[in-house]
Amino acid sequence: MITGKCEAVKVLAHMSDIIIPILIFFIVGYGVVSGVKVYESFLKGAKEGLKIVVDIVPTLIGLLVAVGMLRASGFFDLLEKVLAPVTEKAGLPAQLLPLLVVKMFSSSAATGLVLDIFKTSGPDSYAGLVTSILMSCTETIFYTMSVYFLAAKVTRTRHTLTGALLATLAGTAASVVLAGRMI
């Protein structure tokens, strides 16, 4: 029985290796059959994408520098100490507060904090489970808003920030509840 499962896993692994090339060939083939100038369309899209990257880079650098400064200044340690009594009562380990703040700005920097949490508490601990679920249930709010709104030239964001913060709060609550049920 175990051999059958291993073979199925190998088949899926090989399928995942060829799915993207097949998809690319399908798209190119469909474009050729439809009469689209595939290469010219690709170059046009690549040029537009490069222009967007050039517009976004200063924002990205600013976000990464801000997160690095907050981390190095000890702000996250202070935040953890001040809010620990409240968050612990709600079931959210205080050591996850820096992760929550950083995740709103940078998913890459948040991944570094996740690794720190896994090293100190372990991935199978309550804090590790909440962390894992939290990373999936929350969004990089400020990064996403700045990048996409800048690229789309949106100047009036209306209730986007409020909605995104509420969604992060809901994702955090869901993480606590789901991790609590797993333990």
Residue 56's Cβ-count burial label (10 Å; 0-12, 13-18, 19+) is middle
- pLDDT the model gives residue 1: 47
Mean pLDDT of all residues in 23-30: 92
Q: How far apart are CA 109 and CA 88, in angstroms?
A: 24
Q: How far apart are CA 84 and CA 87, in angstroms?
A: 5
CA dihedral (73, 79, 80, 84) in degrees, to 10, reads 170
Q: Which of 5-14, 25-34, 96-105 has the lowest mean pLDDT?
A: 5-14
Enter the DSSP assignment of 93. Answer: -
Query: Which range, 119-123, 136-140, 155-159, has the best average confidence (pLDDT)?
Result: 119-123
What 3-state DSSP class applies to 122? coil
Q: How confident is the model at residue 5 (pLDDT cuts 50, 70, 90)?
A: low
Pick from 92, 59, 76: nearest CA to 168:
92
Average pLDDT, the chain: 87
Helix boundaries (H) for the chain: 2-33, 38-73, 75-89, 97-103, 107-121, 126-137, 141-152, 160-182
What percent of the chain has a predicted confidence (pLDDT) above 70? 96
What 3-state DSSP class applies to 132? helix
In tens, the pLDDT along 39-79 reads 999 999 999 989 888 887 887 787 778 877 888 899 988 98
- pLDDT the model gives residue 63: 73
State which amino acid sits at residue 127.
Answer: A
At 70, list the tokens: 């907050």
In tens, the pLDDT along 73-116 reads 999 889 889 999 999 899 999 999 989 988 988 887 788 889 98
- pLDDT the model gives residue 114: 92
Pick from 63, 55, 47: nearest CA to 148:
55
Q: Given a cut of 80, is residue 8 above it in pLDDT?
A: no
Domain boundaries, the chain: 1-36, 52-182
